[in-house]
Amino acid sequence: MSHTPLVQLEAAAKAQLEQILAKGPLKPKDRTAIPQQEMPSQDALDRRGNMHQVALGYTPEQARVEAMRCLQCKNAPCIAGCPVNIDIPRFIARIAEGDYRGGIDVIKETSVLPAVCGRVCPQETQCQAVCTVGKVLKDVDLSVSIGRLERFVADWEREQGASELPEILASTGKKVAVIGSGPASITVAADVRRAGHEVTVFEAFHKPGGVLLYGIPEFRLPKQIVQQEIDTLRAMGVEIRTNFVVGRTRKIHDLMQKDGYDAVFIGTGAGLPRFMNMEGENLVGVFSANEYLTRSNLMRAYDLDRADTPIYSSRKVAVLGGGNVAMDAARTALRLGAEEVHLVYRRSRTEMPARVEEVQHAEEEGVMFHFLTNPVQILGDEDARVASMECLRYELGEPDASGRRRPIPIEGSNFKMDVDTVIVAIGNNSNPLIGQTTPGLELNKRGNIVVDESGKTSLEGVYAGGDIVLGAATVILAMGEGRKAAAAMNEYLSR
């Protein structure tokens, strides 16, 4: 795909906007005829060499034109498609009018992290998957760009400087501990604090933000945005304690019995990397995506001049997996100077769980995709460093339990891939620490915490949400869970 520079997109949108405004009231046919606004981005060749944000965000004119594509349908299928049910047509209508404040206010009625979700939500499988415009144009990629519009108003608000603090009710004297500081925990901390309870967030790392900080790279989600969300919590009076591992530094029972916390929310995420259990996986040069990304993102190893934390220097990298984390790892490896990055996925392109935009960006940047391919073993040299990877080709069979067509190995199709680094991004299991140190907390056989529909665990006053309950999922689902649990906690504390 050729790259259109920002100035050109901006000029085109200005002209389109003038034309539309001159024309008067729009009929549905006029709306669907408006061309979808392309997201301005850094040129692929430039961005391979830096960590800066790839997608630059709509200009105001682009946002208004894109917003005018929305049909404002009565049944609004997009709202049901959103895990937190944002009133999408209403916020888009505000943007179309140029009322950005009104737009962001609508979103904030239901979402606490619009600048984050606008960037990392898989919109094409949620709100945009069911958009009527996409249906009319018979192409889901041509649905109204809801995510980009969400990002636009969230960024607009941040750029205004003074984002308004939500109202906080009078102090109830109740204390709530929130374990973890990722999306589920941020949501709970905000919602519970708003009800007037005292909130402490406990984070194991030295910086809060969870996966938003250690997992998602700067080029996709600038850390300054995460910092701002955390600053907002602090400004609301939420206490954040870093370097605190609940289960080790203090156990949940002690927090409740010795330290006087009346309720606890567990939002510790899915932080235990899964490996393939194949030969050679412990060779030097094999990393979990978690480790690779944490070194680069949280420990800032990409800043070779300043960071004390080293990161592996690679020439040819294989990334295993087809999700967003795999895309992040592959694109990080490119930025760290790898000559070749191969993404190896055992299913085909259509089954990839990654966001379409990330896959597209990765391809533009030069990541090479190997579909229907899976490694059998990793081979090392005499220093036990990765020398190559043996793979097997697959074909698609009948649909499996996940509804996706099951990949079947083609016998004798083995081949070797010449690589010096392998990054495993095939998902995470839940971290067992809380379960091991909290007697009475019910877990399922996969190690996830068992909760009822309100997010309550088997222990009185203890709630959980996000990936520790769902297994590895998305930011927006974690946030949705958090909202539900926070409501239940507020209700529990008011009794």
Partner 1 sequence: MAYVLPRSYPLREITALIRHSGFFFFVLMNKIVRKRQLSDAVFRMEIEAPLIAEERKPGQFIILQVEHDFGERIPLTIADADLQAGTISLIFQTVGATTKKLAALNEGDFIADLVGPLGLPTHLEKVGTVVCVGGGIGVAPLHPIVQGLKEAGNKVIVIMGARNKDLVILEDEMRALADEIILCSDDGSVGRKALVTEPLKELCESAEKPDLVVAVGPPIMMKFCALTTKPYEVHTIVSLNTIMVDGTGMCGGCRVTVGGETKFVCVDGPEFDGHLVDFDNMMKRLASYKDIEHKASHTCKTEELLKRGGKS
Q: What is the contact surface with partner 1 in residues (CB under 8 A)? A: 204-206, 214, 231, 234-237, 239, 241-245, 248-250, 271-273, 275, 277, 281-285, 287-288, 290-291, 294-295, 299-300, 303, 305-310, 312-313, 383-385, 431-433
Q: How far is the CB of 362 from partner 1 (least distance, A)?
A: 23
Q: How far is the CB of 243 from partner 1 (least distance, A)?
A: 4
Pick 432 or 440: Cβ nearer partner 1: 432
Pick 162 or 401: Cβ nearer partner 1: 162
Cα gap 63→305, rounded to integer Å: 39
Pick 158 or 300: Cβ nearer partner 1: 300
Pick 147 or 271: Cβ nearer partner 1: 271
Q: How far is the CB of 198 from partner 1 (least distance, A)?
A: 9
Q: How far is the CB of 88 from partner 1 (least distance, A)?
A: 33
Q: How far is the CB of 381 from partner 1 (least distance, A)?
A: 10
Q: How far is the CB of 226 from partner 1 (least distance, A)?
A: 14
Pick 98 or 380: Cβ nearer partner 1: 380
CA atoms within 13 A on the CB side of 240: 25
Q: How far is the CB of 335 from partner 1 (least distance, A)?
A: 17
Pick 206 or 445: Cβ nearer partner 1: 206
The three-state secondary structure class of 97 is coil
CA 317 to centroid of chain Cα atoms: 23
Cα gap 299→318, rounded to integer Å: 22
Cα gap 273→35, rounded to integer Å: 42
Long-range contacts of 97-105 (CB under 8 A, 24+ apart): 98/60, 98/64, 100/60, 100/63, 100/152, 100/153, 100/156, 100/157, 101/157, 103/149, 103/153, 104/153, 104/154, 104/156, 104/157
Cα gap 297→118, rounded to integer Å: 20
Pick 111 or 431: Cβ nearer partner 1: 431
Q: Which of 221, 154, 231 has its CA nearest to residue 189?
A: 231
Pick 154 or 199: Cβ nearer partner 1: 199
**What DSSP assignment string belongs to 436-461?**
HHSTT--B-TTSPBP--TTSB-SSTT
Helix (H) or strand (E) holding 417: strand 415-417
Q: How far is the CB of 283 from partner 1 (least distance, A)?
A: 8
Pick 236 or 473: Cβ nearer partner 1: 236
Determine contact, residues 345/370, Cβ cutoff 8 Å.
Answer: yes
The three-state secondary structure class of 490 is helix
Q: Is beta strand 286-288 parallel, antiparallel or unpaired with respect to 421-424?
A: parallel
Pick 373 or 430: Cβ nearer partner 1: 430
Q: How far is the CB of 195 from partner 1 (least distance, A)?
A: 16
Q: How far is the CB of 463 from partner 1 (least distance, A)?
A: 21
Biggest alpha carbon–alpha carbon distance for the chain: 74
Structure tokens, 227 = 């910092």
Strand partners, 343: 319, 369
CA 381 to centroid of chain Cα atoms: 37
